[in-house]
């Protein structure tokens, strides 16, 4: 069971695979299983019964919600080390759909497992912080600041997981990024174009290379 942990745990940011793997094998340990999710397939659907939480071990996911007219809104982007499924705890049904953006693998922890109890307070707290950060991103920020902050968030998450913070492949399309940021597709494309002309970054399709981290950080504070 020890090989279920990820390669590293940096700082005090809780990596759920590592946390669960440390508990596994102890008397109160979590009963882990693995699940592979092919690209484009849902891990769970909005309205489906809640029965487990999931730790992304490899790959990435998007979270979406659908309104009564069937329109989709992207509400989250998740990479390895992130958690999924906590939205089902309140009403025992998932409030969103989680879809794999590439072939992915998750660790599954049944909701009834006592091994989850020592981790729940930190998991819930981290989720609340991320939701607050997303609201702050959407409130009173210019389109350039939203896109720049989104890119900077990915660089920070890549760095925390031992990947290059300067070059990565975006799994979300421009339209999905717009949905997540509350912007139109054309606006997202226009901002990426402007950041390229300013030599802040280079974007070729979904491949992004950050050329000037300081300028990217400055763009995050751009006024409306």
pLDDT tens, position by position, 92-111: 999 999 999 999 999 998 88
pLDDT higher than 90, residue 4: no
Q: Taking the complete model, does pTM exceed 0.75, yes or no?
A: yes
Closest of 43, 57, 130, 133 to residue 88, by C-alpha? 43
**Beta strand pairing call for 72-78 and 61-66:** antiparallel
pLDDT in tens, 156-167: 888 888 888 899
Picking from 136, 133, 137, 146, the residue whose alpha carbon sits closest to that of residue 195 is: 146
Domain spanning 2-122: which CATH class is it, in words? Answer: mainly beta
Find the distance separating the first CA and the last CA of the chain, reported in whole Å.
50
- Read off the tokens for 186: 């054309």
pLDDT at 1: 36
Q: CATH class for domain 137-219?
A: mainly alpha
Can you count the helices (H) and strands (E) in the chain?
6, 11
Domain(s) labelled CATH 1.10.10.10 in the chain stretch across: 137-219
DSSP helix/strand/coil, 178 = helix
């Amino acid at each position: 069971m020890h090989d279920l942990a990820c390669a590293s745990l940096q700082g005090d940011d809780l990596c759920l695979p590592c946390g669960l793997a440390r508990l596994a094998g102890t008397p109160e340990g979590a009963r882990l299983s693995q699940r592979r999710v092919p690209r484009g397939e849902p891990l769970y659907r909005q309205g489906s019964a809640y029965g487990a939480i999931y730790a992304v071990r490899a790959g990435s996911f998007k979270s979406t919600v659908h309104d009564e007219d069937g329109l989709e809104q992207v509400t989250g982007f998740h990479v390895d080390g992130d958690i999924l499924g906590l939205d089902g705890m309140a009403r025992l049904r998932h409030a969103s759909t989680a879809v794999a953006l590439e072939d992915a693998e998750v660790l599954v922890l049944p909701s009834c497992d006592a091994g989850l109890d020592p981790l729940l307070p930190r998991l819930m707290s981290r989720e609340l912080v991320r939701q607050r950060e997303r609201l702050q991103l959407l409130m009173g920020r210019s389109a350039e600041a939203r896109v720049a902050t989104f890119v900077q968030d990915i660089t920070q998450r890549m760095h925390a997981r031992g990947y290059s913070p300067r070059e990565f492949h975006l799994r979300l399309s421009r339209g999905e990024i717009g949905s997540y940021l509350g912007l139109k597709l054309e606006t997202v494309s226009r901002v990426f174009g402007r950041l390229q002309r300013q030599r802040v970054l280079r974007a070729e399709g979904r491949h992004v290379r950050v050329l000037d981290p300081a300028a990217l950080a400055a763009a995050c504070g751009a006024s409306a």
